[in-house]
């Protein structure tokens, strides 16, 4: 094709919409070629983001993530046009928060109530829309177990879907889903080293390395290694963590991508903090809860020999295949092994103002491993019926979990104390006694499957719909120590999903969604609040819940806004107190109605805002076992939350950015009887970072102070929140 000079700009305008580009061959002569897109594939439990942007969610863009998404079975919609509440914490924001655990991530999320920090059990426990969530997925593969293997150093972004997810993922969390996206190979060579301090004298060294193996860019790699050790801000508490992960991408051709990744994580906490419960005396007088200030969280209130060890290994693969322009296939598989050991000392506050402890250990058992497998496969077909466009999808999700235990794995419990609440009381570690020799056995096996079929229907530029149906199954087996079957159920349910989407203008999306979901029933623990559970080990049948959601999203003037009104109804499970013992029961229902709002992006060229609020009205209804609970609020669920995080780039000093956050969690009740209301709390954080851009290798210094005012508070009925903490780090890329 020959043309005149100065035609390049005109050709660019004409060809760009068709993914074409004009390449100058010689003066006045051009060749038209197809643009070679670099596809960056990230995977949500909620979605797979495929973005042609250089860096979706970058600090320069105000941390907005709005790429093309796959929400479980649904594929190809921007997050703005997806009829679900999805919140994304990008890699840049993770780095600038100095996120070394999930605590820093959830702390700024206005849709999440942090119920227990990760350090308490090497796992998060959060509330989303008033429902507890402890499980997570990775790269789109859901794992049916508590999350014991999360290290933020290997995570590219954290994605949270709030609300019912049963149709999307089968038996799952009613409140929502958390997904970690593994860092993928980089197009350019990456060598990044960070040295930092999390708090106290606990320091870490982290290396992040990535790039392409061959010149054609078919093979890419990413390695992350971490070592961490030292005393935390809690006196006599030491955290040691060693971690390594890898990720490989193989671009077989332009239409086929295969990903493989894995990790090994070794976690050791010495000085595991205690949990608190309220006791009573022989006359039935209950203890009075001390203030959180009195139980100073900078002190270790358990025992110096209380520990938690956890080893986790993971191996996974994902496949994306565009078979032709109308047919594609997605698949993923993840295998996870976790081995955990405890020595605990749980505390009971007595009516006379002292406290006692119940201590036990399982560290003498050679193995109490949990094996979890998860997988999915979906086939997508695009076609038209007249002027109506369809994206039909069908597929299967599968998860299998085995948990091993052992006869005499746990020692006999030992009563310690009483101790004065004026300061922690310490004793030597007991000489642990067991009822007999340890012998391993399979404790439980849970299998879930979810067969889905759906149609993403586009009527015109303004109206579209998502229509789907899922057949979800749960089989749960629990065994006695002699390998005989203790409990067993095998239940299934057909769960529908319907969403109607309307776009009045291109920058605004509104929707209404209805969804049903199946959730596995819980198991009765051996003890609750320091007391025996009379039906310990009993398994309960699955629960079916419903959700109605009305939402709107808008992307305008550098900001992404999202709001949702929701109503969720779910069967209720709780511990019923009977004569100084608890019984775990399924009785009544929970009705949660609320409003969520988030805002993310650039308010001005130099000012970034990430924040929002949740207003929640949660009630118990249809009580039979305890009619006095009717109308009460579920325990530990806050009425409202608001959280705002902001950054300001100082114009006069290039590379200097200051930040701060304000988060408020409303009051909540410690128990279902609503007799004890715990105060809400407001936390303030500040920080700064400075990047030396004029150096040969960029260096970034980061400094953050959390809980600036050293606020002392009860995070839930059993644990107090952290006081003031300071984090420092220095990063260099070369």
Q: pLDDT digit string (tens) for 187-204?
A: 999 999 999 999 999 999
For 102, the enclosing helix (H) or strand (E) is: helix 102-107
On whether the CB atoms of residues 169 and 161 are closer than 8 A, the answer is: no
* Full set of structural domains in the chain with CATH: 1-36 (no CATH), 40-733 (2.40.170.20)
On whether the CB atoms of residues 667 and 639 are closer than 8 A, the answer is: yes
Contacts of 284 (CB under 8 A, 6+ apart): none
Does 493 have pLDDT greater than 80? yes
Bridge-based pairing state of the strands 176-182 and 155-162: antiparallel
Q: Which two tokens stand for residue 86?
A: 């999805």
Q: What is the longest distance spanned by two Cα atoms in the chain?
A: 99
97 or 173: which leads in pLDDT: 97
Does 702 have pLDDT greater than 70? yes
Percentage of residues in the chain having pLDDT higher than 90: 67
Strand locations in 117-215 (E): 125-128, 131-133, 135-138, 141-146, 155-162, 176-182, 190-199, 202-212
Q: What angle do CA 182, 225, 94 make, to 5 degrees?
A: 50
Question: Per-residue confidence at 409, pLDDT binned at 50, 70, 90?
Answer: confident
Task: Look at the alpha carbons of 322, 328, 329, 330 in this order and tell me if their dihedral is positive or negative.
Answer: positive
Residue 54: predicted pLDDT: 36
Residue 39: predicted pLDDT: 37
pLDDT tens across 528-537, in order?
776 888 888 7
Please give the average per-residue pLDDT across 40-45, as a whole number.
40
What is the distance between the alpha carbons of residues 539 and 474, in angstroms, rounded to a whole number?
Answer: 12
Q: Which two tokens stand for residue 664?
A: 């408020």
For 378, the enclosing helix (H) or strand (E) is: strand 369-385
Contacts of 253 (CB under 8 A, 6+ apart): none
Question: Per-residue confidence at 35, pLDDT binned at 50, 70, 90?
Answer: very low
Please give the average per-residue pLDDT across 109-137, as a whole number.
89
pLDDT tens across 226-271, in order?
999 999 999 999 999 999 999 999 999 999 999 999 999 999 999 9
Please give the average per-residue pLDDT across 367-386, as a whole number.
92
Q: Looking at 249-258, 421-430, 569-578, which range is the least confident one?
A: 569-578
pLDDT tens across 624-649, in order?
888 899 999 999 999 999 999 999 99
Buried b (16+ CB within 10 A) or exposed e, 280-293: eeeeeeebebbebe
On whether the CB atoms of residues 307 and 342 are closer than 8 A, the answer is: yes
Residue 360: predicted pLDDT: 93
179 or 686: which leads in pLDDT: 686
Q: What angle do CA 450, 455, 461 make, to 5 degrees?
A: 145
Bridge-based pairing state of the strands 656-665 and 681-692: antiparallel
Question: Per-residue confidence at 45, pLDDT binned at 50, 70, 90?
Answer: very low
Residue 26: predicted pLDDT: 44
pLDDT tens across 464-489, in order?
999 999 999 999 998 988 889 988 98
Please give the average per-residue pLDDT across 73-102, as a whole number.
92
C-alpha closest to that of 582 among 531, 643, 626: 531
348 or 134: which leads in pLDDT: 348
Proportion of the chain in helix, strand, coil states, percent, rounded to 5: 5, 60, 35
On whether the CB atoms of residues 591 and 571 are closer than 8 A, the answer is: no
For every residue of 437-473, DSSP letters joined together read --EEEEEEEEEEEEEEEEEEEE-SSSEEEEEEEEEEE
Phi, psi of 105 (to 5 degrees): -70, -50
Q: Which residue has the tokens 């990535």?
A: 210
What is the distance between the alpha carbons of residues 518 and 173, in angstroms, rounded to a whole number?
Answer: 9
Q: Which residue has the tokens 């200051």?
A: 658
Please give the average per-residue pLDDT across 115-127, as a whole number.
86
pLDDT tens across 287-310, in order?
999 999 999 999 999 999 999 999
Q: Which two tokens stand for residue 41?
A: 């594939």
Residue 585: predicted pLDDT: 87
Q: Which residue has the tokens 């705002």?
A: 644
**Would you call 570 helix, strand, or coil by DSSP?**
strand
C-alpha closest to that of 570 among 134, 115, 175: 175
What is the distance between the alpha carbons of residues 100 and 707, in angstroms, rounded to a whole number?
Answer: 16
pLDDT tens across 650-678, in order?
999 999 999 999 999 999 999 999 999 99
Residue 3: predicted pLDDT: 44
Question: Per-residue confidence at 46, pLDDT binned at 50, 70, 90?
Answer: very low
What is the distance between the alpha carbons of residues 726 and 718, in angstroms, rounded to a whole number?
Answer: 24
**Would you call 18 helix, strand, or coil by DSSP?**
helix
Beta bridge partners of 322: 328
Length reported for the chain: 734
What is the distance between the alpha carbons of residues 139 and 222, in angstroms, rounded to a whole number?
Answer: 15
Residue 390: predicted pLDDT: 97
Does 211 have pLDDT greater than 50? yes
On whether the CB atoms of residues 277 and 346 are closer than 8 A, the answer is: yes
C-alpha closest to that of 645 among 681, 616, 603, 596: 603
């Amino acid at each position: 094709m020959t043309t005149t000079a100065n035609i390049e700009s005109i050709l660019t305008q004409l060809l760009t919409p068709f993914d074409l580009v004009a390449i100058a061959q010689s003066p006045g002569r051009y060749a038209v070629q197809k643009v070679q897109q670099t596809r960056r594939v990230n995977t949500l439990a909620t979605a797979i983001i495929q973005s042609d942007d250089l860096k979706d969610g970058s600090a320069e863009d105000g941390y907005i993530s709005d790429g093309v998404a796959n929400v479980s079975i649904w594929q190809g919609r921007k997050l703005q046009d997806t009829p679900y509440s999805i919140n994304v914490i990008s890699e840049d924001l993770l780095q600038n928060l100095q996120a070394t655990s999930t605590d820093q991530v959830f702390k700024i999320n206005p849709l999440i109530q942090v119920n227990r920090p990760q350090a308490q059990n090497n796992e998060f426990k959060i509330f989303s829309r008033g429902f507890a969530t402890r499980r997570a997925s990775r790269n789109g593969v859901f794992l049916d177990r508590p999350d014991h293997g999360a290290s933020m150093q290997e995570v590219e972004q954290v994605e949270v879907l709030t609300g019912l997810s049963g149709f999307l993922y089968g038996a799952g969390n009613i409140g929502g889903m958390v997904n970690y996206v593994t860092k993928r190979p980089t197009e350019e060579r990456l060598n990044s080293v960070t040295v930092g301090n999390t708090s106290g004298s606990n320091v870490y060294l982290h290396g992040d390395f990535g790039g392409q193996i061959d010149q054609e860019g078919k093979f890419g790699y990413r390695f992350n290694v971490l070592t961490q050790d030292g005393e935390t801000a809690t006196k006599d508490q030491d955290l040691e963590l060693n971690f390594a992960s890898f990720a490989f991408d193989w671009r077989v051709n332009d239409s086929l991508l295969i990903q493989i990744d894995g990790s090994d994580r070794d976690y050791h906490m010495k000085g595991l903090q205690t949990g608190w419960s309220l006791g009573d005396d022989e006359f039935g007088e209950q203890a009075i809860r001390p203030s959180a200030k009195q139980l100073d969280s900078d002190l270790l209130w358990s025992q110096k020999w209380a520990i938690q060890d956890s080893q986790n290994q993971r191996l996974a693969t994902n496949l994306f295949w565009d078979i032709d322009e109308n047919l594609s296939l997605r698949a993923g598989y993840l295998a996870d092994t976790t081995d955990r050991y405890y020595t605990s000392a749980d505390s009971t506050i007595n009516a006379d103002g002292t406290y006692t402890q119940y201590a036990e250990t399982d560290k003498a058992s050679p193995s109490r491993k949990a094996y979890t497998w998860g997988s999915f496969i979906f086939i997508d077909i695009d076609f038209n019926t007249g002027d109506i466009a369809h994206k039909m999808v069908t597929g299967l999700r599968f998860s299998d979990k085995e948990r091993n235990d052992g006869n005499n794995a746990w020692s006999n419990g030992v009563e310690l104390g009483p101790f004065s609440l004026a300061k922690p009381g310490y004793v030597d570690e007991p000489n642990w006694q067991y009822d007999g020799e340890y012998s391993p056995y399979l404790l439980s096996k849970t299998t879930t499957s979810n067969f889905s079929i759906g149609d993403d229907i586009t009527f015109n530029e303004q109206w579209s719909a998502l229509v789907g149906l899922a057949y979800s199954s749960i089989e749960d087996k629990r065994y006695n120590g002699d390998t005989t079957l203790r409990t067993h159920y095998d239940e299934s349910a057909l769960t529908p999903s319907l969403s109607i989407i309307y776009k009045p203008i291109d920058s605004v999306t509104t929707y209404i969604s209805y969804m049903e979901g199946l959730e596995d029933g819980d198991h009765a623990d051996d003890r609750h609040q320091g007391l025996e559970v009379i039906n310990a080990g009993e398994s309960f049948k699955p629960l079916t819940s419903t959700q109605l959601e009305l939402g709107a999203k808008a992307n305008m003037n550098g900001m992404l806004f999202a709001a949702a009104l929701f109503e969720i109804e779910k069967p209720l499970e709780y511990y019923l107190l009977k004569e100084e013992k608890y019984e775990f029961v399924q009785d009544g229902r929970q009705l949660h109605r609320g409003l969520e709002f988030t805002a993310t992006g650039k308010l001005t060229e130099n000012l970034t805002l990430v924040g929002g609020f949740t207003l929640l009205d949660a009630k118990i209804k249809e009580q039979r076992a305890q009619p006095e609970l009717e109308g009460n609020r579920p325990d530990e669920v806050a009425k409202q939350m608001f959280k705002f995080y902001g950054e300001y780039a100082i114009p006069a000093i290039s590379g200097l950015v200051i930040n701060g956050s304000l988060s408020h969690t409303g009051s909540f009740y410690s128990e279902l009887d609503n007799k004890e209301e715990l105060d809400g709390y407001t936390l303030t954080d500040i920080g700064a970072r400075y990047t030396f851009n004029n150096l040969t290798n960029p260096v970034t210094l980061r400094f953050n102070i959390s809980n600036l005012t050293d606020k002392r508070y009860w995070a839930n009925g059993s644990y107090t929140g952290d006081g003031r903490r300071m984090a420092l780090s220095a990063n260099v890329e070369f």
